[in-house]
Amino acid sequence: MGETLHDAVHFWERWRLIFNGKLAAVFLGWITLTWPHFQGASPFQGLAFLIIFFAAANLIYSGAYLVDIPFQGTVHRTQWLRWRFILWLLGMCIAFVFTNYWIADEIYPFVH
């Protein structure tokens, strides 16, 4: 179990930095491209939204361990280690869509 956990942490935490960077780029892109709309917003309100969003995104990201660790314990471990990047890409795509939706539906309309 120690090797499995070490391998999972090594893989997923390395990619978490890129995950967070891409989500931050989406968030900053929205603010930059729609700046006149966000100009009057309170900096504390924006910071609160950002903290809540990143906490939720990283909590959901950690769910990858629930898939990765059991798969590593199967006879298909070798194949899984080669294909788990696909899980990361799929999760990144879902996070990208969710981030855009969340900003467009939950933040943008309520910022004045």
d(CA 4, CA 73): 8
Which residue is listed with tokens 């660790």? 69
Tokens 């795509």: give the residue. Answer: 93
One digit per residue, the tens of pLDDT, for the chain of length 112 reads: 789 999 999 999 999 999 999 999 998 898 888 888 877 777 787 788 888 889 999 999 999 999 999 999 999 999 999 899 999 999 999 999 999 998 888 777 777 6
Helices (H), the chain: 2-33, 35-38, 43-61, 64-72, 77-102
pTM for the predicted model, two decimal places: 0.81
